[in-house]
Structure 1
């Protein structure tokens, strides 16, 4: 066992030193103290248990929610020489894995919470040597979390039965309430909580009202090279988008629970291995993937909460390179979300409404998106981040209260039974057979909006639905919500954000990870060959950032290559000569 964690870090992972709060977390674990680490995606959470697992006597048991995630982390651990295994329902070598654990031949053992809470598994651990419990995605233990998993609640007895074994809980997405619940549920003292900054400065956030969603996402895909994830809200939506995005010329696949399991697994494997594929998926996709080079995440509809949005967008740019997160939303998203809230247990409704209101503030703001996002997690942020749509191209904020009152008046006087298109026709005085038959052309609201005010009607309609001043009835007509009265009486102002007109970006103009250096491309080609031969995704060999540094430094020897961050001893031995030959030949 090495006495110095930094020397182990350099030898195995190839990093010169710890990043952020990693040193503090690792120090607590090595001292045998129970810890909750709240760290943003891409901050190196897995290293906080992988490194102690190598240094401590015995095996680190990692509880993880998804089999795909476990297998992904298994590949990454084995690639740097860590002795690791998974014990899941799909593994055919379970007897061998149990034997390796009992023989003390495992540094890491990954299991799902369902297995970890069984008596059989506890019996197995009793007969071996456990060095550490690591509970990944720890927010799943909290009913207040956005991804509650009841089986996580059953872990406490297991942890308590190994009182001398330290426990490390890890999450990237937990507000203050959820963090307190994690501490209580997993028996970790408050002083054992380490919260790193939530900021992901390499991600550029953008939020846009839907206006031809498919066209908007096609434009984004064309403008942003590299792998990307497009989240749709339905299974059918993923397939429609995948078909439509084929026009970009990029490889595109769909992913959802309704696909044949073999097809789903093949599509996921193809995406993980690809350097330019776009996958259209439901939101469950990505939680089980540790793919570092995702260059963009697009939402074709509203996520469940800010926590979910943060986690889903956090799947972009895990390698630290620039990435884009673009959300496209509609007023009907908020209407559906409010309907769902009415269907959950009464004691959960206040929390769900608070989450939806927080999302509303994020999409409506004329200010910095990142500031609102970080404030939700209790973190102070500058007034402007310089890397979100509102900071890069400040929108115009206007007082639209009078237009909103006209809109509400039209909804009321037409009987609260017509949709937005008809309401807008009444307000602008557009005569139709329906308006004649209904006698609406004689109403006081007929034609009271004209000129430049007409362009405000659609965004005002969205804003009123977002604020719950208007709701859609089961037949698609608009009716008053609880916020309507205060706006009609002039007691509640309606500020409207009008985004600036943006020119369509030329292909490759906003490349988040520009390529083109012949040596860099040659190194990527060699990486693809080695990955195919080893049957692992290319990033398991080396991240793009490592290849860029190779291209810039052009090391001429193994000793020089060893100085590049991310080149540990195992990878140096396995791939160093191959990459040196590419550098020499180019």
Structure 2
């Protein structure tokens, strides 16, 4: 069995060796046992059920939450010569009947299906009459009612061990803290299955968070300087902001498309297809966009507003760099983001227990933003993973944060909130502190307070930073009466009495970090010319077949073609991601591109090293 699995990995998927613990997971499922797999995006989760489905007799059934994800997975598998299909609402009755006939005849290696279809009695009867190799539950965190992507249909998947006893089940996700992992195990009855928690680190992603100061211009500088030709995702909190930002980016010369739940289904589908199939498209979206997005060459994810939890942040930033190439997770945030999220939380219909959990998650997200040590260490610690060394690839590592003694400033800020009656938001408090005589200041006679004008030594931006950090550290809280007023907590007493000194972060005027090396847009000269030629070849083939370009080859494969420049099919076969099917389909065309580029040059080649199994997630 093990040799058969390795043969499939090498000859079908084009990888020379498993990444640990892929081989253990594959063996577990091939032998008929259940498994829970927590593996970071890009770590090769899909192979952990695709290969067992090909080794075991019958059809592997994959429960997947989104139609777009099914389409991408099936298209990629078909490119490899694997007999794959899907059953979902996008199919007309005739096509669905043909897929069902293939299933009954044992002509499918893998079938992708939505959870809502699986729970139908007709579908269960269909599967019961067929030979099923395994059940794979993708995006398994959707079963968690504490999670950010909860899907009620996933709760019914506990029927699998009852209706199909003896058939192995493998549940997979990239995002699950300890609470979510336990909930997955309990709800899917995986108590006797093996657990594989492979870590959460995404070392190719550079994490950067900075304070919001004209967010649009900050975003423009970031894209222009670092990702001018790359595909990316920009997340905003509201639909209105999504549309305004997309329109503004279009005016700046970028191909930017809006995506949110308020758009019509056809428009959302068109925008998503353009994002997947065209080069250099930027999607501006609410959290409605993302789960299951299979595009491997997203080079950046930008947040213009604060996510509501570290789980959401990790999931959304994880859509960058799925191919393992360098990518950036960039975010700006401010105190108004905190105010808005807490207002939304407190006015929601959730139970008090749910709100308490969500408050804790938002506080943890704030802590990640304000931390002065390595962000990656803090992010991994949240998911229960400890790493002794700083990563060297986040903003706080690349540009260590400076601090200043903010004790007196904090006392002034807290006193101002107290003396104005704890009834006002940050903008008015800053006006009082700097001595600005606005209509509101005069209306409430706040120019007569002892705190009026005592903060003239700091500017508005510095006071905004002080208040943001006081909220993040729990000295102030946001009142949820609808006006976002700041109220003192019990914790602030020690600061007001001078019993505790506060070292506050000094916000940089402009964030400067070292750019990552090795990303495709930084290729230049001869390498850059070959890169463009290979992309053009890939794009033509993708258009001819009506599939996204990365279904032909990932960027990582093209990067290897640039680096090693194979001269014959044998050398081409050693490139990462080239299996037997793709070797037969595409080697001639890509080798011809390389030959034309190399015409008159030295044809000697250096064979690429053996590669480990990545993931055509």
Scaled by the length of structure 2, the TM-score of the pair is 0.90
The count of residues paired between Structure 1 and Structure 2 equals: 586
Q: Secondary structure at the match of 2:12?
A: helix
Give, in angstroms, the shift of residue 498 of structure 1.
Answer: 1.8
CA contact (8 A) 1:117 1:158 kept: no
1:316-335 CA-to-partner distances (Å, cap 9, x unmatched) read: 00011100001221212222
Distance 1:492 1:356, change over 3 A: farther
Find the aligned partners of 1:251 and 1:56 in 2 and give their Cα distance.
45
Aligned to 1:181: 183
- Pairing 1:49–2:56 present: no
Find the aligned partners of 2:168 and 2:497 in 1 and give their Cα distance.
59
Give, in angstroms, the shift of residue 158 of structure 1.
Answer: 2.4
Find the aligned partners of 1:5 and 1:504 in 2 and give their Cα distance.
47
Aligned to 1:496: 504
- Pairing 1:553–2:564 present: yes
Give, in angstroms, the shift of residue 436 of structure 1.
Answer: 4.4
CA contact (8 A) 1:295 1:513 kept: no
Give, in angstroms, the shift of residue 506 of structure 1.
Answer: 12
Find the aligned partners of 1:191 and 1:156 in 2 and give their Cα distance.
14
CA contact (8 A) 1:61 1:110 kept: yes
Find the aligned partners of 1:441 and 1:106 in 2 and give their Cα distance.
77
1:448-484 CA-to-partner distances (Å, cap 9, x unmatched) read: 2233587631101222333451425656462415356
- Pairing 1:463–2:469 present: yes
Which of residues 391, 401, 409 in structure 1 aligns to 2:407? Answer: 401
Aligned to 1:194: 196
- Map residues 220-299 of structure 1 onto 2, 5 A cutoff: 220-223=222-225, 224-225=227-228, 226-299=230-303
1:300-346 CA-to-partner distances (Å, cap 9, x unmatched) read: 11112111111110000001110000122121222233233333112
- Map residues 31-50 of structure 1 onto 2, 5 A cutoff: 31-50=31-50
**Higher alpha-carbon deviation: 231-240 or 350-359:** 350-359
Give, in angstroms, the shift of residue 398 of structure 1.
Answer: 2.8
Find the aligned partners of 1:508 and 1:361 in 2 and give their Cα distance.
25
- Map residues 432-511 of structure 1 onto 2, 5 A cutoff: 432=438, 434-436=440-442, 438-452=444-458, 456-467=462-473, 469-471=476-478, 474=481, 476=483, 478-482=485-489, 485-486=492-493, 487-490=495-498, 494-502=502-510
Q: Secondary structure at the match of 1:416?
A: coil
Q: Secondary structure at the match of 1:575?
A: helix
Q: Secondary structure at the match of 1:447?
A: coil
Distance 1:547 1:491, change over 3 A: same
CA contact (8 A) 2:297 2:322 kept: yes
Find the aligned partners of 2:253 and 2:512 in 1 and give their Cα distance.
18
Which of residues 377, 382, 407 in structure 1 aligns to 2:383? Answer: 377
Which of residues 343, 346, 367 in structure 2 aligns to 1:339? Answer: 343
Find the aligned partners of 1:420 and 1:276 in 2 and give their Cα distance.
39
- Map residues 527-538 of structure 1 onto 2, 5 A cutoff: 527-538=538-549
Which of residues 571, 576, 585 in structure 1 aligns to 2:582? Answer: 571
Aligned to 2:360: 354
Give, in angstroms, the shift of residue 395 of structure 1.
Answer: 1.1
Scaled by the length of structure 1, the TM-score of the pair is 0.95
Aligned to 1:139: 141
Q: Secondary structure at the match of 1:415?
A: coil
Find the aligned partners of 2:407 and 2:108 in 1 and give their Cα distance.
65
Find the aligned partners of 1:167 and 1:322 in 2 and give their Cα distance.
33
Give, in angstroms, the shift of residue 247 of structure 1.
Answer: 3.9
Find the aligned partners of 2:502 and 2:518 in 1 and give their Cα distance.
34
* RCO higher in structure (CA 8 A, sep ≥6): 2
CA contact (8 A) 2:33 2:193 kept: no
Find the aligned partners of 1:491 and 1:112 in 2 and give their Cα distance.
58
Find the aligned partners of 2:515 and 2:248 in 1 and give their Cα distance.
18
Give, in angstroms, the shift of residue 407 of structure 1.
Answer: 1.1
Distance 1:16 1:459, change over 3 A: same
Cα root mean square deviation, aligned: 2.3
- Pairing 1:422–2:424 present: no
Find the aligned partners of 2:140 and 2:491 in 1 and give their Cα distance.
40
Distance 1:581 1:401, change over 3 A: same
CA contact (8 A) 1:473 1:479 kept: no
- Pairing 1:27–2:27 present: yes
1:509-531 CA-to-partner distances (Å, cap 9, x unmatched) read: 99674233211211111101101
Q: Secondary structure at the match of 1:295?
A: strand
Find the aligned partners of 2:534 and 2:208 in 1 and give their Cα distance.
33
Find the aligned partners of 1:237 and 1:510 in 2 and give their Cα distance.
33
* Gap regions ≥5 residues in structure 2: 598-617
- Map residues 142-181 of structure 1 onto 2, 5 A cutoff: 142-181=144-183
Give, in angstroms, the shift of residue 145 of structure 1.
Answer: 2.3
Find the aligned partners of 2:248 and 2:391 in 1 and give their Cα distance.
34
Give, in angstroms, the shift of residue 394 of structure 1.
Answer: 0.8
CA contact (8 A) 1:232 1:280 kept: yes
Aligned to 1:213: 215
Which of residues 502, 514, 534 in structure 1 aligns to 2:522? Answer: 514
Give, in angstroms, the shift of residue 190 of structure 1.
Answer: 5.9
Find the aligned partners of 1:251 and 1:542 in 2 and give their Cα distance.
23
